[in-house]
Chain A
Amino acid sequence: MRERMVEGLFIAPALVLTLLVFVGTMVWTVGLSFTSSRALPIGHWVGAAQYVRLWHNARWIASVENLAAYAIAYVLLSLLAGVLLVVLVDRAARFENAWRTIFFYPYAVSMIVAGLVWQWLLNPTVGLQSLFGGAGFAWLSNPRLAIYAVALAGAWQSAGLVMVIVLAALKGIDPEIRRAAALDGIPVWRTYVSLLLPQVRGALVAATLLLAMAAARVYDLVVAMTNGGPGNATELPAKFVMAYLFVRQNVGLASAAATMLLLTVAVLLAAGWAARRATGR
């Protein structure tokens, strides 16, 4: 009897916080998206009106389009760079830990600092541009390219994460496979492409999923780097929610946008779950 109570005490905080904070506030936010709440959560029921308004909002449409461009560029760039780093570090004869430490350190830097550094690097007057003495790096003032500049900064931060995840999986592969490939004279690049990387596809899928999730919620990076500009060129959904919650005082619309974020994450989670089943893990 007393033991039951002790167990209950141990589990109570997690239980209460999960139900109250995570489930409760989420349901509350979704509920608010069906009301006309402005600054205070006291609006009345308006059905799907906020969603209609949301999808007629030019800034929201721009945010979603930008997110699509960002997510594709960021995920591909991170995966590509990450896998390249895996191969390089994996083949490095010495200092493997040192290399890994170098490629993973951006992950320990705050998104705010990362955004600022890349803003300086791509700044037309003091940045890389000044080195090459001409056009080419003024991405941040170009509405078509700015979002890819943010994706580049994001990939700089995340490539190391992909590397760490895939490298760990690679270490789990039976060394006999490598030895056999080397004995058969299979070129190194083929060994990776046809033999080793397929073996770690579970890790690759997991990394892709993590990257996609990170893309959907990116906020700090863009605040520090471009603050949404030039124009609406780097506005993103997570930033839209923050702006309508705390600056524009339109809780109903912000909640509708947040609910769209939730749907995105839910779709990604479902896709990840399906992919995990398909890769047999």
Chain B
Amino acid sequence: MVTPTMTTRTAGSPSATRQANRAAPRQARWARHLPTVLLVGAAAAFLLPLWVMLAGSLKSMDEIRHGSLLLPPLRPTLQAWRQAVDALSPGLVNSLLITVPAVLLSTLLGAVSGYALAFSRWRAGSRALSNLLVLAAFIPLQLFLYPAVLGLAWVGLFGSLAGAVLAHVVFGLPLTTILFKGHFEQLPLELLRAAQIDGAGFARTFFAVVLPVSMPMCAVVMLLQFTGIWNDFIVGLVFAGAENRPMTVQLTNIVGTTFGERAYNVEMASALFTAALPLLVYFYSGRLFVRGVLSGAVKG
């Protein structure tokens, strides 16, 4: 086998190449390892917060006070986790009660709306509506909050789980619709035409043909919506009401209300407990999640 270094040796003046050859492998090895070193260093820096949380959640307060932040727990204990789970269980239940219906409903609504905007014969209107939705995706929630509170109070849903679900479904509409519309527009037209030839109407084409072949996209949208809604703070804080607070809101209460010495181990366990589900989902389905974020970012 002829390696590149061997070919260079045959060319050029002998003394110069000999020198170059002596330096080259050393420099090449150094240069080859530098990116890896940097990569590992960067990865360690990015994982540091997660590691500190995990290690801290398994330590006693005594160990936190006297030990190093970076060390693994020397006498691991589940004490902090027990307290965190006790304190956050109601929040966990609320988060599930809000997230599951909100994800399902907003995905369905996004699919229906995206399909309508992609294929409706009302072209000018569809385009205008799509543009409005793209703009709406960028506008801070603060612009909608107060009238939305009044509106939900008016229909009697303010301060309830249903109110929070509804708020999530509505505020998620721009993103879900834009994602589905972009996806549907890339479907092969023959598929739709074949359905039409078979006599399927607008609705039947959607439910029997388009939706079944779009399950991967549904998964992507559900993944994004799940992460977004689970991690939401504002909607839960404003719309859910005091008894229905999701985990994120409860977490800030737990951290904010300890008197005297802060129980850092319980706080870290609580934070990790709150972040656990989206993190597990993310690590399990990383590539789908990336795909969703990318198509969302590109459309925007």
**Chain A interface residues toward B at CB < 8 A:** 2-3, 6-7, 9-11, 13-15, 17-18, 21-26, 28-29, 32, 41, 84-85, 88-89, 91-92, 97, 99-114, 116-118, 120-121, 126-128, 130-131, 156, 159-161, 164-165, 168, 206-207, 210, 213, 216-217, 219-220, 223-224, 227, 238, 241-242, 245-246, 251, 254-255, 258-259, 261-262, 265, 269
Contacts and interface: CB of A to CB of B under 8 A. Distances in A.
A120 B56 contact: yes
Interface stretch (B11-19, B76-84, B146-154, B156-164): B146-154
B113 A11 contact: yes
A217 B126 CA distance: 28
Contacts of A245: 142, 145-146
A32 B136 CA distance: 19
A166 B251 CA distance: 34
A89 B170 contact: no
Given A110-B233, A223-B252, A238 B42 contact: no
A108 B138 contact: no
5 contacts: A10-B112, A14-B109, A105-B282, A238-B140, A245-B146
B140 A110 contact: no
B257 to A, nearest CB: 13
Which of B49, B121, B125, B141 has the most A CB atoms < 10 Å from its CB?
B49
A126 B264 contact: yes
A269 B138 contact: yes
B173 A14 contact: yes
Contacts of B109: 13-14
Q: Residue among B122, B142, B227 with the most chain A CB within 10 A?
A: B142
Contacts of A92: 35-36, 39
A121 B52 contact: yes
Interface string B60-83: 000011001110000000000000
Interface string B129-149: 100110110111111111110
A102 B202 contact: no
Interface stretch (B187-195, B212-220, B290-298): B290-298
5 pairs of A and B residues whose beta carbons are closest in the complex: A110-B231, A14-B113, A25-B147, A10-B116, A108-B282
A3 B117 contact: no
A22 B52 contact: no
Interface string B203-230: 1001000000000000000000001001
A7 B203 CA distance: 8
Most B CB within 10 A of own CB, among A29, A88, A100, A160: A88
Contacts of A2: 201
A216 to B, nearest CB: 7
Contact of B278 (A108, A206, A269): A108
B294 A216 contact: no
A128 B69 contact: yes
Contact of B129 (A15, A120, A238): A15
A111 B294 contact: no
